[in-house]
Structure 1
Amino acid sequence: MLKRGRQHESLSDKIHRFRGVILVISVPLLLITFVLFLMPSRAPSDSFSNRKISPDNVILARADSSSSSRKSYAVIFDAGSSGSRVHVFCFDKRLDLVPIGKDLEIFRQLKPGLSAYAKDPKAAADSLQSLLDKAEAVVPQELRHKTPVRVGATAGLRQLQGDASHRILQAVRDFLKDKSSLKSKSDWVSVLDGTQEGAYQWVTINYLLGNLGKKYSNTVGVVDLGGGSVQMAYAISETDAAKAPRMSDGEDTYVKEMNLKGTKYHLYVHSYLHYGLLAARAEILNVEDSGSPCILVGYHGSYKYGGASYLASASPSGSGMNECRRVAIKALKVNESACTHMKCTFGGVWNGGGGDGQKNLFVASFFFDRAAEAGFVDPNVPVAKVRPVDFENEAKRACETKLDDAKSIYPNVGDENLPYLCMDLVYQYTLLVDGFGLDPWQEITLVKKVKYQNYLVEAAWPLGSAIEVVSSLK
């Protein structure tokens, strides 16, 4: 009877009687179904379901998985008169410098420079092969095709006769196109003018100081005293940039616009040709027909510059700070050239209007070198705070020193520069105070290198060029 009764159990009775078993089986099944239901909604972020599969995408996927994809490299050739140099820099996605191995940059050089091959342009270009090989070896292979390579030639190529410079530059362009796996453009191979050097120097120093990306008033101005020219560069307001006087055709404009780290800068920059330290000696010696009050007593000789020779002998009345300064002012043409603009420096050149971008001034190159050699700046420190009057005080002492005594008093000054020490220091003071209009007691910063993270980096133009080209490609 019991057996027959169970045969007539209803479906609901059976479910009720086996409810425990059904629950044990159904719960896992429901969980598995739920997980499977959720999986498609996650797939797009974990797969290539929204991408087209191609060899290029596979390469991209590999690059994305490596740290190199977050880096940008730049290769800059500095083709100078004495030799060729290559710099390789690496930046992260925020455009901050990151080390390449143990160094913050890769630097190699060789001699002679491109100008030594004036009659053989192809040989000039081929001379860069070993430097190019070293640079390409540093850049990850998957990034080489988008890594810019620039060549900036300076004084050496400027002085070549005829079309020799043009032919060498074209040979270098062809060389990079045929032999390099890096990204090259025709206008990335050129002779740098003083304005470009000044602009890149400004970029380099402000970058290393961490100023780029901030408003222009938080940047520093730069004066770079080279051998043939001196450059001044500093950021000005948009209002002052709009007031910049127009220059005659064929001349550089006073204001250069630069977009750096997401910020637009109006950069006043001007290069004064013939007023670098070595060129200025010729200008000063050319003022006087007889002996010069800027030459140390006891020296009689000649000074050669730019293919010309100048009498370089001490004045019969001796050397002196005041007389030498009078000659230096005359050489700068401070009061001789009419100023047709709102305000001028010297030679009738617009001064940029001044402003916050000029209030902190960093001066580089020969300013640092002569100060260190004269002994009022420690040559072992990368930067030093001084005032223009420090150059004046040291100039007074140097101008009163006879050549025979100068070697023991100034042991760090080379023999070829010793007769001109009075002249150099007087000129530097005059350039700052009478030329650029600085207060003699204004604090300025002499700079050789700038501390960046835990590294000391040379305050030179190639880094500025690298930052500009990488910024333009982002």
Structure 2
Amino acid sequence: MSKDYLIILSLLLSTVLATASSSSSSSSLYLGKGFSHRKLSPSYHIHKTIDESYAVIFDAGSTGSRVHVYRFNQQLDLLRIGQDLELFVKTMPGLSAYAENPQDAAESLIPLLEEAEAAVPQEFHPRTPVKLGATAGLRQLEGDASDRILQAVSDMLKNRSTLNVGADAVSVLSGNQEGAYQWVTINYLLGNLGKHYSETVAVVDLGGGSVQMAYAVSETDAAKAPRAPDGVESYITEMFLRGKKYYLYVHSYLRYGMLAARAEALKVRDSENPCILAGFDGYYVYGGVQYKAKAPPSGSSFSQCQNVVVEALHVNATCSYKDCTFGGIWNGGGGAGENNFFIASFFFEVADEAGFVDPNAPNAKVRPVDFENAAKVACNTELKDLKSIFPRVKDGDVPYICLDLVYEYTLLVDGFGIDPQQEITLVRQVEYQDSLVEAAWPLGSAIEAISSLPKFEKLMYFI
């Protein structure tokens, strides 16, 4: 038998074995009602190297809980976990829904934890940091409810998890942390970190309970930043990223996330509200509080609703600085770092419901005027006709679609000062290494957590 023949036979045998292994190991995950996930290749534990590291980040948001698992190489580049660059699993409702029962809140995370631990090879568990960051939903809970939930979650992780649960593993993120992490996530995925600040993008992230704005400014402008009012976080956050120091203008507006803003607008007109579609008479519930939601006899009105939203945002509040956003908050001074806006979370969802973006696209180029145009149509529609014009609007959002569109347009233009005709990018996911990665703050948190490991020599840290 010739040497060439033996080589060919060996290659054929290897191919057959690989095919058999692949076909016999395919599987699908099911987490039960309320859970969703990305399907992972069953071979995600192969090709381990000594230079890789994992991070597990829980995002305890106002509308649900999510877990992200990331895998990095020594240069802090993302590596694949199976076919994707992250494991992403989510469940509803969020931890704040368990305000009266902290133990149930902690137990709601167990299926997420189990999926995350299964994605990390066993030998990496002791050195894989796990963190949970709670956002606006828990920030708004009254009394000690938030502390009791966080303690229950911390106890659960320490008692059940084989991952590295540090003393600071569970916390409520400050608004500035959330905004800074989101800025890091998007600019990391775009390949902007390490570049001059003028080559980075600005980020506005509209969550359920709060909205964050973040962009890089020059060292000179950072030095001129005014002192924040009492009770307000510093306007400038300093970060060291990929060998370069950045000065971020960051501000978080609690109670002005999409779901919270509905309540703020309904408080402005607590009887008949021109933001509510004609034909609706009911209550909107947010944070355990009921708000009357009833249309006036004339129905909803774009111009009158915008007046309500401007009042709710306190756009005309006294400004003690050269320029403000809304509520008397300094706007950061502008500059090259905010020439290009990436707009995340509920902005994309509402644009999807209004029908002016592709629901299957990871991102979309739009202009604020697109929200205005859709709002004018929605606000001129009765409740009974809305679904025939906007078929993608979720049933629970139908009475509020006029309000949602007016709010997002007004927030961008009157709140953040973006020109109605300026092109902006609505983003859910960012393409990175031919895969799509969620445009969410946990990646920024994961990069910071991994950077703190000794072998990474603090490639990213807050100053």
TM-score normalised according to structure 1 size: 0.80
Farther off after superposition, 407-416 or 242-251:
242-251
Matching of residue 311 in structure 1 with residue 292 in structure 2: yes
Partner amino acid, structure 1, of 2:285: K
Within 2, Cα distance between the matches of 1:306 and 1:248? 27
Which residue number corresponds to residue 230 of structure 1? 211
Of 391, 403, 424, the residue aligned with 1:444 is 424
SS where residue 332 of structure 2 aligns?
A: coil
Which residue number corresponds to residue 339 of structure 1? 319
What is the identity percentage for the equivalent residue pairs of Structure 1 and Structure 2? Answer: 67
Unaligned runs of 5+ in 2: 1-46, 457-463
Which residue number corresponds to residue 17 of structure 1? none
Matching of residue 457 in structure 1 with residue 437 in structure 2: yes
**Structure 1 residues 323, 340: CA separation in 2 closer, same or farther (over 3 Å shift)?**
same
Farther off after superposition, 312-321 or 374-383:
312-321
Alpha carbons 1:261, 1:471 under 8 Å: kept: no
Matching of residue 387 in structure 1 with residue 367 in structure 2: yes
**Structure 1 residues 408, 75: CA separation in 2 closer, same or farther (over 3 Å shift)?**
same
**How large is the Cα RMSD of the aligned pairs?**
2.4
Within 1, Cα distance between the matches of 2:81 and 2:349? 29
**Structure 1 residues 123, 227: CA separation in 2 closer, same or farther (over 3 Å shift)?**
closer
Alpha carbons 1:363, 1:447 under 8 Å: kept: yes
Of 175, 178, 182, the residue aligned with 1:194 is 175
Which residue number corresponds to residue 299 of structure 1? 280
1:431-467 per-residue CA deviation (whole Å, 9 max, x = no partner) reads: 1111111111111111111111121111112111101
Alpha carbons 1:153, 1:192 under 8 Å: kept: yes
SS where residue 89 of structure 2 aligns?
A: strand
Within 2, Cα distance between the matches of 1:299 and 1:119? 31
1:285-319 per-residue CA deviation (whole Å, 9 max, x = no partner) reads: 22235422222222222222233333322223332
Give 1:116 shift.
6.0
Within 2, Cα distance between the matches of 1:393 and 1:110? 34
Within 1, Cα distance between the matches of 2:403 and 2:181? 29
Matching of residue 356 in structure 1 with residue 358 in structure 2: no
Alpha carbons 1:148, 1:184 under 8 Å: kept: yes
Unaligned runs of 5+ in 1: 1-65
Within 2, Cα distance between the matches of 1:363 and 1:143? 35
Within 2, Cα distance between the matches of 1:314 and 1:422? 11
Aligned residues: 408
Farther off after superposition, 405-414 or 164-173:
164-173
Alpha carbons 1:287, 1:330 under 8 Å: kept: yes
Within 2, Cα distance between the matches of 1:218 and 1:156? 33
Partner amino acid, structure 2, of 1:454: D
Within 1, Cα distance between the matches of 2:103 and 2:284? 35
Partner amino acid, structure 2, of 1:460: A
Within 2, Cα distance between the matches of 1:395 and 1:389? 10
Matching of residue 472 in structure 1 with residue 452 in structure 2: yes
Within 2, Cα distance between the matches of 1:236 and 1:163? 37
SS where residue 187 of structure 1 aligns?
A: coil
Partner amino acid, structure 2, of 1:397: V
Within 1, Cα distance between the matches of 2:100 and 2:277? 41
Matching of residue 241 in structure 1 with residue 243 in structure 2: no
**Structure 1 residues 180, 375: CA separation in 2 closer, same or farther (over 3 Å shift)?**
closer
SS where residue 186 of structure 1 aligns?
A: coil
Within 2, Cα distance between the matches of 1:186 and 1:147? 14
Partner amino acid, structure 1, of 2:74: K
Largest Rg, 1 or 2: 1
Within 1, Cα distance between the matches of 2:102 and 2:404? 37
Within 2, Cα distance between the matches of 1:439 and 1:80? 30
1:198-255 per-residue CA deviation (whole Å, 9 max, x = no partner) reads: 2211111111111112121111111111122111111111111112221244431111
**Structure 1 residues 304, 138: CA separation in 2 closer, same or farther (over 3 Å shift)?**
closer
Give 1:166 shift.
2.1
1:87-127 per-residue CA deviation (whole Å, 9 max, x = no partner) reads: 21001122111102222112334566555665665665466
Partner amino acid, structure 1, of 2:250: V
Q: Return the structure number with greater helix share.
A: 1
